[in-house]
Amino acid sequence: MEKHGPPIIQINDVRKSFRAADGRERPVLEGVDFTLREGEIVALLGQSGSGKSTLLRIMAGLIGVDSGNVQYRGQPLYGPARAISMVFQSFALFPWLTVQQNVELGLEARGIAREERAQRAEAAISLIGLSGFEGALPRELSGGMRQRVGIARALVTQPDVLLMDEAFSALDVLTGERLRDDILELWTQGGMPTKAMLVVSHNIEEAVLMADRILIFASDPGRIRTQLSINLPRPRIADSADVRSLID
Ligand code: ADP
Ligand code: MG
């Protein structure tokens, strides 16, 4: 069993409802408990609508909870924290901004000199393999490259935690696999500042290849139902047959 470090994010008994079109409160998370520790990659699987993105947004400090606790390194999490970055399925780039400008947006302008912002953005762009494309606009890039921009923007703050919300699912299979493998290679080589990753997926094979631990979200009620630990060495090279034998 791989050893993991102290908790980075701790979630206790988190509940969250949304008001549906008929005006009723619809519970999405009904008492979720979860701890993300240093050194681990956790995959979160679950049906569409089961609350995975909601949980990630809560962990990123983008939305609040109705009740329960969310802690980052032992302190309550209020609002977005620079130490926690998110990568979105839809890339979420500004189409009228260049690669460089999109990545610099990851840094709040305040307090960081222009030159340092540029340097940090260039470093993140280079880390993810996009050097030379700093001046390009998103529409001039392939889908895989656009998502690399999304990842560079997430990494530019040197986050402790990277939350990836179906980051590969808008890409064609080979492009998604290449990007995933690049990220895993950076992770295994210690090339990333990030200490833990939470990866939302609905691809079981992807979850098995990436994660030390897989959580499965039950949609009704909105709770984490099953936890499965994967104990394979990294880097992990497996074909579908290996993966299936793990699941069966
Ligand atoms: P998943 O990522 O697992 O597909 P989500 O967390 O996106 O699930 O959504 C869970 C449920 O919460 C869905 O029924 C969705 O429609 C609802 N929901 C999510 N965000 C909002 C919102 N801002 N307002 C109203 N309902 C929402
Ligand atoms: Mg989602």
pLDDT digits (tens, 9 = 90+) for 224-242: 877 777 777 776 655 555 5
User: Does ligand 1 come within 6 angstroms of the Cβ of 220?
Assistant: no
When mean pLDDT is compared across 50-59, 73-82, 195-204, the lowest value belongs to 73-82
Q: How far apart are CA 168 and CA 164, in angstroms?
A: 9
pLDDT band at 33; cut points 50, 70, 90:
very high
- Among all ligands shown, which has an atom nearest to the Cα of 19? 1
Mean pLDDT of 44-73: 93
Question: Residue 68 in contact with residue 32, Cβ under 8 Å?
Answer: yes
Write the DSSP symbol of residue 138: G
Number of other residues whose CB lies within 10 A of the CB of residue 78: 10
Q: Is the beta carbon of 64 within 6 A of some atom in ligand 1?
A: no
Q: Is 53 in the pocket of ligand 1 (CB under 6 A)?
A: yes
Nearest ligand to residue 45 Cα:
1
Give the residue whose CA is nearest to atom 13 of ligand 1.
49
pLDDT grade for 1, boundaries at 50, 70 and 90: very low
Task: Compute how many other C-beta atoms are within 10 angstroms of the C-beta atom of residue 121.
Answer: 23
pLDDT recorded at residue 241? 56
User: pLDDT: is 130 or 232 the higher one?
Assistant: 130
Q: How many residues does the chain have?
A: 248
Q: What is the pLDDT of residue 48?
A: 86
Looking at the CA of 48, name the nearest ligand.
Answer: 1
Q: What residue's CA is closest to ligand 1, atom 21?
A: 18
Distance CA 149, CA 142 (A): 11
175-182 — which CB contacts under 8 Å span 24+ positions? 175/142, 175/143, 175/144, 176/144, 178/144, 179/144, 179/147, 179/148, 179/151, 180/206, 180/209, 180/210, 182/128, 182/129
- What predicted TM-score, i.e. pTM, was given to this entire model? 0.90
Task: Using the mean position of ligand 2's atoms as its centre, give its distance from the Cα of residue 53 in Å.
Answer: 4
Residue with the bigger pLDDT between 82 and 71: it is 71
Average pLDDT, the chain: 88
Which of 76, 92, 85 has its CA nearest to residue 170?
Answer: 92
Distance of CA 204 to the CA centre of its chain: 16
Mutation test of ligand 1: which of 16, 45, 48, 53 has the most ligand atoms closer than 8 Å to its C-beta?
Answer: 53
User: What are the phi and psi torsion angles at 236 (to 5°)?
Assistant: -105, 115
Distance 135 CA to ligand 2 centre (A): 31
CA 69 from centre of chain: 20
Mean pLDDT for 19-45 is 92
Nearest CA to ligand 1 atom 16: 49
* Percent of the residues in the chain that have a pLDDT greater than 90, as a whole number: 67
| Most ligand 1 atoms within 8 A of CB, residue of 15, 25, 28, 202 to mutate | 28
26 touches 19 (CB < 8 A): yes
| 180 pLDDT tier (thresholds 50, 70, 90) | very high
Average the pLDDT over 98-123 and give the result. Answer: 89
The CB of 48 under 6 Å from ligand 1? The reply is yes
- Does the pLDDT of residue 221 top 70, yes or no? no
Residue 25, ligand 1, Cβ within 6 A = no
Compute the distance between CA of residue 145 and CA of residue 69 in angstroms, rounded to an integer.
37
